[in-house]
Structure 1
Amino acid sequence: MPTPAKAMITCTVAGLIAATAYTVALGPSGWLWFAWVVLTLSTIGMLAVRTPR
């Protein structure tokens, strides 16, 4: 797996942890979860394009 893909996965997981911590501490934020979903879809798209077949 290329290094940029690993970095994207790391950012996605860190974003999930941060969004979960924010939700637990301060309550839910729709925009925060929307941004995390967009980041996750971007990561999946990047992996789909970069993965050799």
Structure 2
Amino acid sequence: MPGSGSTDSSTRTMGVLTVGGLVAVTAYTVALGSNGWLWFGWVVLGLITLGMVATRST
């Protein structure tokens, strides 16, 4: 498949951002208390990442 390398790269980048976002939101929650908007944003980011992974594997 032509162009699959860039798709793999962008999917990997999204995965790294998602994991980094989870670490950041968790650290914020521990330090300053829970913020529902931050968790909502992380869930949306996670769903986008899962969507990218699902479309890449088909």
Give the structure-2-normalised TM-score.
0.85
2:49 matched residue in structure 1: 43
Structure 1 unmatched runs, 5+: none
Which structure has the larger Rg? Answer: 2
3-state SS in 2 of match to 1:2: helix
1:4 equivalent among 7, 10, 34: 10
TM-score by length of 1: 0.92
**Please, what is the CA RMSD of the aligned residues?**
1.2
Q: Percent identity?
A: 56
Q: In the TM superposition, what is the alpha-carbon distance from 1:51 to its structure 2 partner?
A: 1.3
Structure 1 runs of 4+ aligned residues shifted over 6 Å read none
Runs (5+) with no aligned partner, structure 2: 1-6
- Counterpart among 25, 39, 45 of residue 19 in structure 1: 25
User: How many positions carry a matched residue from both structures?
Assistant: 52
